[in-house]
Structure 1
Amino acid sequence: MNILVTGGTVFASRYTAEYFSKRGNTVYVLNRGSKPQSQNVIPIIGDRKNLGNILKLYHFDAVIDVTAYNSEDVELLLNGLESFDKYILISSSAVYPETLPQPFYETMEVGPNSIWGKYGTDKIAAENALLQKCPDVYIIRPPYLCGPMNNLYREAFVFECAEQDRPFYLPEDGSMKLQFSHIGDMCRLIEKILVTDVKEHIFNTGYPVPVSIKEWVSLCYSIVGKTPIFKNVGAEIAQRSYFPFYKYEYILNVDRMSSILPDLTPLSDSLRESYEWFINNRELIVRKPLIEYIEKNLA
C-alpha cells in the first residue's frame, strides 16, 4: 500500500510510520522536517496548515492521521489531499464526558470533559469535521498510549525513580485505576482495518482490564529490577505536581477491538519495550519537574 502518516517523527506517529514501513508498505510522512525522520519512509516536507499542492501528486491507499488536534487540522488536510481510499483518525478517549456511566462505549454521545477541557472538545470537533465530509472514515479512541518511543514523562519518570532507588510517592492508597493501550496493538488494529472488511468505524482501544497505579508503578520498578518503597500522599496535595497522571479514573469498553484483535501485548512486555527504548533515548524525554517538586515538598 501507499500510506500517508501525518507526523512520523515522535512517539505514536513515528512508531506508526515505522510499523507499516517494516511490513513492506510505501510510507510517506507529512511533517515540517524539523526533527529526525522515521526509518525507511519518504518525507513530504510541509506544514498541514499551509499545504498548497504538495499532496496533489499522490494517491494514498490509506491516510493515518495521528496529528490532528482540531477541526481546522482535519479540514486543511482533506483540502490538501488529491485522493485516498481509507482515512483513519487517531482521536482520544477524552471525547467522553466524565459524567457518563462507565465503561464508555463507542455508541455513547461525546461531549465536554472537565478533566481534559479544550483538548477533548477539540478532538470532538476534529471527529465531526471528518465525519461531515467523509462518513466512511475510521476513528480510533485510545486511552493512555504506552510502549516504545514514548517520550512523555510517564513510564520514564517511574523508571528514573527506580534507577535512583527513590521511594515512590503514591497518590492516596494507590488504588486509582489507569487504562493503557500499547502502541503496537493500536497499529495492529489499524492494519486489520486496512486489509479486512471491518464493519464498525469507531473503536475504543486498550487493555480490557485497567491496572491500579500501585500495580503499574510496581511493574515499572520490576522492569528495572527494583521493588518500590511507597510513601502515600494525601488528597490535599495536587496529584499532578508529583505524579504524571490526572486524578481521573475511567475505563473504555474495548469489545469491538477485541472481536478482531483478541491477542494483545501483555502490559509487562509493553513496559519492558518502553524501558529498552528509554535507556537508549533518554535525551528525547520531555521531562516535567516532578522529582524537583518531590525533593522540595515531600521528601
Structure 2
Amino acid sequence: MGRILVMGGTEFVSKALVVHLISKGYQVDILTRGKREVDYQGVHIHYICNRKDKNELSNTLNDTQYDYVYDISAYTEEDVRIFTGVINTEALKRYVFCSSGAVYKPSESRMSEIAEKDNNPNWGQYGEDKKNAEDYLIQLYNSKGFPIVIFRPPYIYGEGNNLYREAFLFERIQNKLPIPYPGDDNTLVQFVHIDDLVNVFSSAIDNDCVGQIFNLAYPEDISWRQLIKIAASVIEQEVPSVRISTTKMNEIDVVPREFFPFRDCSFLMSIEKLKNSGLYSPKINLRNGMLKAYQWYQGKQKLPQYRKMPKVDYVIENTK
C-alpha cells in the first residue's frame, strides 16, 4: 500500500490525518519535536527531531524511502527547503503540502486556484510564510519534477481543534453570554470539517494529481451571524449576537482579534477544480460539523486553548 511519513502527528490536523491513515491500513511513521504525547495506537515509527535543523533531520531520517509524505508541520519556505533537501526521493510518489487560503490577495470575490497570491494583511506573517513555501515547492516541481500536491483550506474546525474558535462559541453559548462579532453581515467565509479534510488528503494517494493545487472547502458561504446561530442551534440555546461595526471599533480602540476568534474579512474559494478532480469532495455542512464538534467538546474537561481575546466583555459593555 506504500509507506507514509507524516510531518507532525500530535496536534489537530496532523493527528487526525495519522489516525485516519492508520484506520485505512497504511503503515505510517510520524516526525515531531517530541513535545506532546502520542495518545493513540498504530504509529510504526515515531521520529523525534527538530525539523528546522538540517543535520539532525538528515541523521534522523537516515535516507529512509517513503512513497508518500504529508507535510502538516511546515509553515515557512525554510521548513520545506530543509525537508526537500533531505528526503530520499527515489520512491516518492506524492509530497502533500498543507497550505492555506491565506496565500491569496485580499478579495471579496470567490477565488480560484489561479487567483493572485500576495502578502495578505488580514493574515500577516502566517499567510506570507505559506505563500513563500508554496512558491518554493512550485519552483521545485517545475525544475526537478518534485511530486508536490498542494491543498489550500479555509478555516478548519472539528474534533480535536486546539485553537480557541468553536470552543469560544460553545463556551459563551453554554454560559448564556452574548457573542460579539466584527464588521457587517456581508462578510462571508467558508469552513472545512477535519473529517472532510483528512479524507481529501488521503484520496491524493490514488489520484493522479502531482503538480496540482486545490482549494479545499465545503461549498457553503457563512456570515458571522449565521455561524453564531448554527453553533447555538446545536446546543439548543439562544444567545444574542452583537455586531461591532468598524466605526464602533475605532471609537473604543479595539481590533477584531481582541474579541473574535476569526479574521474580519471575507474568505471564499471556488472548489470546482477539487470537485472535478476525482479526489474526495467535502460532504459535511457546518450544522452537522458543529454538532460533531460540540459532542467532542462536551467530553473534554480541559482544552488546550489559545486565548488571545482580552476584550470580549469590554466590547459588549461598550455597545450598550
**TM-score scaled by length of structure 1:** 0.92
1:205 to 201, 211, 216: 216
For residue 265 of structure 1, what is the amino acid of its counterpart? Answer: I
Query: Are 2:217 and 2:282, in contact at CA under 8 Å, matched by a contact in 1?
Result: no
Q: Could you tell me which residue of structure 1 aligns to residue 252 of structure 2?
A: none
TM alignment of 1:213-252, pairs within 5 A: 213-235=224-246, 236-237=248-249, 238-252=255-269
One-letter amino acid of the counterpart of residue 80, structure 1: V
Query: Are 2:128 and 1:121 equivalent residues in the alignment?
Result: yes
Q: Are 1:81 and 2:87 an aligned pair?
A: yes
Displacement after TM superposition at 1:131 (Å)? 2.3
**SS class of match (1:194):** helix
After the TM superposition, list the runs of 4 or more consecutive aligned residues in structure 1 that deviate by more than 6 angstroms. none
What is the alpha-carbon distance in structure 2 between the residues aligned to residue 239 and residue 174 of structure 1?
Answer: 14
CA separation of 1:241 and 1:66: change in aligned 2, threshold 3 A: same
Q: Does residue 92 of structure 1 match 2:92? A: no
Displacement after TM superposition at 1:122 (Å) = 1.1
- Specify the alignment match of 2:73 in structure 1: 67
Q: Higher mean Cα deviation, 268-277 or 157-166?
A: 268-277
SS in 2 for 1:105: coil
3-state SS of paired residue (2:60): coil
SS at match of 1:52: helix
Q: How far did residue 130 of structure 1 move?
A: 1.7
2:7 is aligned to 6
Q: Map of 1:34-49 to 2, 5 A cutoff? A: 34-39=35-40, 40-41=42-43, 42-49=45-52
Amino acid at match of 2:296: W
Q: CA RMSD in A?
A: 2.0
Q: Distance in 2 between matches of 1:289 and 1:191?
A: 33
Tell me the distance in 1 between the aligned counterparts of 2:79 and 2:12: 19
Per-residue Cα deviation, 1:21-53 (whole angstroms, up to 9, x for no partner): 111111111101110115221311111112132
Q: Which runs of 5+ in 1 are unaligned?
A: none
How many equivalent pairs are there? 297
Find out whether 1:270 has 2:289 as its counterpart: yes
Shift of 1:226: 0.9
Report the CA distance between 1:199 and its aligned residue: 7.0
Match of 1:166 among 177, 202, 222: 177
Counterpart amino acid of residue 45 in structure 1: I
Kept in 1, the 8 Å contact 2:151–2:215? The answer is: yes
1: CA distance, partners of 2:293 / 2:7: 23
Task: Please say if residues 228 and 241 of structure 2, whose CA atoms lie closer than 8 Å, have aligned partners that are also in contact.
Answer: no
Are 1:186 and 2:197 matched, yes or no?
yes
Q: Secondary structure at the match of 1:44?
A: strand
Relative to structure 1, is the Cα distance of residues 279 and 246 closer, same or farther in structure 2, using a 3 angstrom cutoff? same
TM-score when normalising by structure 2: 0.86
Offset, 1:117: 2.2
- Deviation of the 1:188 alpha carbon: 1.4
Question: Relative to structure 1, is the Cα distance of residues 226 and 189 closer, same or farther in structure 2, using a 3 angstrom cutoff?
Answer: same
Given that 2:152 and 2:215 are in contact with CA atoms closer than 8 Å, whether structure 1 keeps it comes out as: yes
Q: Which residue of 2 aligns with 1:33?
A: 34
Q: Report if aligned partners of 1:156, 1:285 keep a CA contact under 8 Å in 2.
A: no
Letter in 2 for 1:18: V
Q: In the alignment, does 2:119 pair up with 1:112?
A: yes
1:197 Cα deviation from its structure 2 partner: 2.6
Secondary structure in structure 1 of the residue aligned to 2:93 = strand
Q: Is the 8 A contact 1:7 1:13 kept in 2?
A: yes
21-30 vs 48-57, greater mean Cα deviation = 48-57
* Conservation of the 8 A alpha-carbon contact between 1:175 and 1:213: no
Deviation of 1:72 after TM superposition, in Å, equals 0.7
**Percent identity between the aligned chains?**
30
Residue aligning to 1:293: 311
